[in-house]
Chain A
Amino acid sequence: MNFNFSEDQLLMKEEVKKLLDKENSVKRNRNILEGEEKFDKELWDQLVQMGLTATTIPEEYGGIGMGFLELCVIAEELGRGIAPVPFSSSVYLATTAILNSSNEDIKKEFLPKLAGGEIIGTFAHSEKTTFPSESGISVAAKSGKITGKKVAVPDGDIADFALVSATSGKNKIGLFLVDLSADGVEIDSLETFDPSRSHADISFKNAPAQELSADAWEDIEKLLDQSAVLFAFEQVGGAEAAMNQAKDYAMGRYAFGRAIASFQAIKHKVADMYISLQLARSNCYYGAWALSNDAPELPTAAATARVSATKAFYECSKENIQTHGGMGATWEFDCHLFYRRARLLSSNIGSQGIWKDKLITSLEKSNSPT
């Protein structure tokens, strides 16, 4: 049994980590947060050059034909570096959605460009809530045109195209590919909680839309499960970084004549972070297994990974600030960058309450939950 990543995968993880360390990804996060740019183009180009956007794309479509396990280790490192790039939208979501589909024309046209980082995609799904039910989709597609509004679309003002969920006839939800530079598309950038990752509202008014699939609700559910595992890895990477910051600071900060790391109040706090992180990491590994094997357990495994990783990143990022004391709550220290990112990732692809509910629903469906 080998319930771990392979040596090659771990080597790849190390390479991604090295690049993000060298490029000072956390500092770049701050630059985007404080500046006018919507994402770090320079860093994005380096990730593309390293082939990361091509990871899961088969060679016949211009990719490098690796799998989701490789994507999991990349996600963890992007999370550790709180990288200010549209990777989750373009790779976890848009690329996976196209890979999942059987639309050869779209695959042939878009996958090579996604692999080469020439274009950036996103998934536009949220309307009134981040997680609409099947009957809650009001954006409508008809005869190659799409109309309606999607809200808080991640990288909506960066992406070249969006995969948009929309009604496609009676009681059917389809998935449509929309060129975001086309006529009839209006993009409003949002001022957000974590400006290191850009979001926008997108309105469509008879905008041209290519049909990826006319009957796609199950595909969408699956896409969300798949991406939940990847988001969870990103959250685990961020959580571990926050825990290590807390530990390192506590070791070097002296009060009452001793390192504060020698106080049990601080040690137990960091131990609690470690516990939530380990539980999340182990659940993520199971999620990775289910994702890469396209296992029937994926809905349960994905929700479990997502819920525990969301919890871990929140706990680690908030207690990291607490461990730092007043300085942790300054703009100058990096703690808040992780705290913001933790909150943002909790909202992207659906909140904690929604995923907890999905988890119990999937356990109710399966006869033997344990």
Chain B
Amino acid sequence: MDFNDTKEESKFRDEVNSWLSANADKKEHAKDIYRPAEMSSESESGESSALKDAKAWQAKKYDAGWACLHWPKDYGGRDATPMERVIWGQEESKFKVPGGFFEIGQGMAGPVLMLYATEEQKKRYLPPMAKGEEIWCQLFSEPGAGSDLAGIKTKAELDGDTWTINGQKVWTSGAHYSDYGIIVTRSDFSAPKHKGLTYFFLDMKSPGVEVRPIKQITGGANFNEVYFTDVKIPDSQRLGEIGDGWKVSLTTLMNERLAVGDASGVDFQEIFELAKDQDFNGDTAISNGAVREKLADWYCEQSGLKYTKMRNISALSQGSTPGPEASITKIVSANKLQDIANYGMDLMDNASIARDEETAIFQGSLLGAPLIRIAGGTDEVLKNIIAEQVLGMPQDIRVDKNVPFNEIPTGSKN
């Protein structure tokens, strides 16, 4: 039992490090983050400045052969092993570099294109995706179809070799800056729920696509509603067979779960430091037994996730595939985030009400946590996945199987 690299891994790590050291600044503390250099111009929002920087960094990596490492070289990757990809991620996280715009394209759209697109399309779309030149979004959820994704109603009608799309998507991250999107639609309303779906990719600048931001409880707007009014998609941009959209969607979702990792925000370190500083009944909070018990629970969760990840990486290093066990990460980290944020504000007492430098991260985490528990598979969906796919328990008995979709009640009835 050891944490040591193999010879090859160590050589690769050195190579990664020397390139990163030459091209980026190392973090001084683990929690350092990249901040855009210029937010000077009035017209430029924080996001567009961050996007510009992220694109520049991604292009730099691409040119040096460090983008989408595990992809084939022909499509802009490096043909790297899964373990090399892990090593890159570990090392890059030690540097102050921008990111956060390309995960959906590279993590979800890319793998689907690789499986279902024509060779010509792969050569056209994958390299710019790897380079960060073109950004992709995922158009799946709808107002009446979240966890029950197969309940979507966005309609696709074929006329000749062109499809016409009408309907509405929701919770689309980054639709407002995306160039392309992957979309699942219903092409047959009289077929059973999972059989009438068809999957496409489309140009987000197509006429009839309208993107409206959703203001979240944090005050930010990272998600959008996307409306489709007579949007045309050529049949050549269909991924998979007509009516096979559910199967294609499952490929995407499997990748989504890998892409959604730890929840960011307050963690053990923040509540530990706070408890050391904070007064509590005439002493520091950390000297109180009840506080110590809570801290210990969170430390155990954080540590448990860290070493679960290590076990998965170890499986990769040993040449085996980690299973869906990784789905515990989001459940545990999102709930921990929410509880730590809430408890931190409790410890701060009255001081937690005002927003200042100290309280901001706890307040932001408390407001951000609910969405993290929902996005990319709710706690409940993930628990179903653990029960069914890891433990082999049976699926829930369904009332919506083998019934024509247009006879099934969907959405909100109140």
Contacts and interface: CB of A to CB of B under 8 A. Distances in A.
B299 interface: yes
B170 interface: no
A4 B1 contact: yes
B300 A308 contact: yes
Interface in B372-410: 380, 382-384, 386-388, 390-397
B133 interface: no
A357 interface: yes
A307 to B, nearest CB: 5
Contacts of A288: 1
A348 B297 CA distance: 20
Nearest to A67: B1
B2 A307 contact: no
A182 interface: no
Contact of A307 (B300, B307, B388): B300
Contacts of A353: 289, 293
Contact of B299 (A4, A247, A271, A304): A304
B164 interface: no
A363 B272 contact: yes
A44 interface: no
A270 B391 CA distance: 9
Nearest to B328: A275
A2 B317 contact: yes
Given A4-B318, A267-B388, A304-B300, A282 B268 contact: no
A266 B386 CA distance: 12
A321 interface: no
A31 interface: no
A271 B386 contact: yes
A interface: dominant SS: helix
B334 to A, nearest CB: 12
B331 interface: yes
B308 A279 contact: yes
A271 B391 contact: yes
A217 interface: no
B203 interface: no
B314 A282 contact: no
Contacts of B328: 274-275, 278-279
Contacts of B292: 356-357, 360
A278 B4 contact: no
B397 to A, nearest CB: 6
Q: Which of A251, A282, A285 has the most CB atoms of chain B within a 10 A radius of its CB?
A: A282
A298 to B, nearest CB: 14
A249 to B, nearest CB: 12
A268 interface: yes
Given A247-B391, A353-B289, A282 B396 contact: no
A251 B393 contact: yes
A311 B4 CA distance: 30
A258 interface: yes
B5 interface: yes
B115 to A, nearest CB: 29
Interface string A344-361: 000000000101110110
Contact of B383 (A272, A292, A363): A272
B317 A270 contact: no
A219 to B, nearest CB: 25
B116 to A, nearest CB: 32
A178 interface: no
Nearest to A268: B383
Interface in B288-310: 289, 292-293, 295-297, 299-308, 310
B380 A268 contact: yes
Contact of A289 (B1, B296, B386): B1
Interface string A240-280: 00000001001100000011011110111011101100111
A262 B1 contact: no
A65 B144 CA distance: 64
Q: Which of A69, A270, A353, A356 has the most CB atoms of chain B within a 10 A radius of its CB?
A: A356
Interface in A1-19: 1-6
20 contacts: A1-B3, A2-B2, A4-B1, A5-B1, A69-B1, A261-B393, A262-B397, A264-B396, A270-B391, A270-B393, A271-B383, A279-B308, A282-B307, A283-B303, A285-B310, A285-B311, A304-B300, A308-B304, A360-B295, A364-B276
Interface of B: 1-6, 9, 30, 267-269, 272, 276, 286, 289, 292-293, 295-297, 299-308, 310-311, 313-315, 317-318, 325, 328, 331-332, 380, 382-384, 386-388, 390-397
Nearest first, the 8 closest Cβ-Cβ pairs linking A and B are: A279-B304, A267-B387, A356-B296, A282-B307, A3-B314, A271-B383, A271-B386, A282-B308
